[in-house]
Chains A and B, each alone.
Chain A
Amino acid sequence: MRLISLVPTGTKIDFLRFRKMAAVFSLFLCVASAGMFAAKGLNFGIDFRGGILIEVRTEGPANMAQLRQSLGGLGLGEVQLQEFGQPSDVLIRIERQEGGEKAQLVAVEKAKKALGNQVDYRRTEFVGPKVGGELIEAGVTAVLLALAAMLVYIWFRFEWQFGVGAVVALLHDVLLTIGIFALLGLEFNLSTVAAILTIAGYSINDTVVVYDRVRENLRKFKQMPLPDLLNLSINATLSRTLLTSVTTLLALSALYLFGGEVLRGFSFAMIWGVLVGTYSSIFIAVPLLVYMNLRRTGLIVGDTDGDDAAEAGKSAN
């Protein structure tokens, strides 16, 4: 049987040659993302902004105009209606009400009274102002702590230069994810934060695999110029990088297409993150090492745990 292979064996692509181009390209994307975020902002879901979300199913295709009319006259402020997955499903978003938690509760009751018993309530969520603020705080804390923890881990396992490179790539991925959410106006909610953290994990994972090879090659080829050595490392791991991306993307596509409406935003973020993460570990994380004055001798003397583990593995067999 002939096996399919995504990458021909023994590629010698000069990735480092594109490093300036990639840097400019990424910088542009990052600036564009930041600009998008500043100009358009994120379409925060009720998790963060507070407010009310009601998902209803009507008999037959929903009469949006009628629903809009019956909800519009309630004086609840901005009410958004959106078809959700199929014509009979409608997602109703009501902005956070002035006043405290009680006001939100009253608004839910009002809306439900106006909709009556004609519709089937599939989901009702409301987040008061207090909890919304706390959720933002917890989300930001989690992301920052995750970045810091990963930086520390990489620093501990490799050299600080690797840590910086990995975290730059990571920030790049997170920023671009936020950018695309701002650009497309996709709802940014708690599960998006979860997706971003997972993207961070995936991106680091990808980067670590290449870095591991760089470290190994630094020991093996002491005389090789750094750019060549980095190229060699990327090429050696290229097949794995792409294969894992493909299997992950296959699984995520299944989730995106068939996992239901609720998970769509989440799986979209993940798919985007895998694409960006794969790109950044090859074109950002590794080329960055060129500029960071790696102490090659220090690596050989001071960092032998990789070899130790390999030896340990051998003797255990």
Chain B
Amino acid sequence: MDIIHDDYQVHYDAATATVVCQGSFRLRGTEEYAPILQVLTAAADAQPATLTLDLRTLQFLNSSGINTLAKFVLHARQYQATQVVMKGSHLFPWQEKSLKNFQRLLPGLHLEIE
């Protein structure tokens, strides 16, 4: 399940239960983010032991995108047997500012910023 766009890409690898987001997410509102949220929630619905969301090459995320990731985290929260791992990078300063907020929605969320 992949989404390929000029400005961003989403790749879901079911075998490793990893969703990789790349590029810049500047989409306009809930409707435009729906396909991305769909990939994320489908990955959570598979209920893997560990679900990794790799954002290390996501350069930009607007507030609608933050909203989308929050929905995903709250959706994943119902699967208590799944450990959610979020990977970020210091290369993009927004990640260390904003990603830690998701731990407040899901205290067990494992955040790795490298």
State whether these chains interact.
no
Query: What is the interface of chain B, defined by CB distance below 8 A to chain A?
Result: none
Query: What is the interface of chain A, defined by CB distance below 8 A to chain B?
Result: none
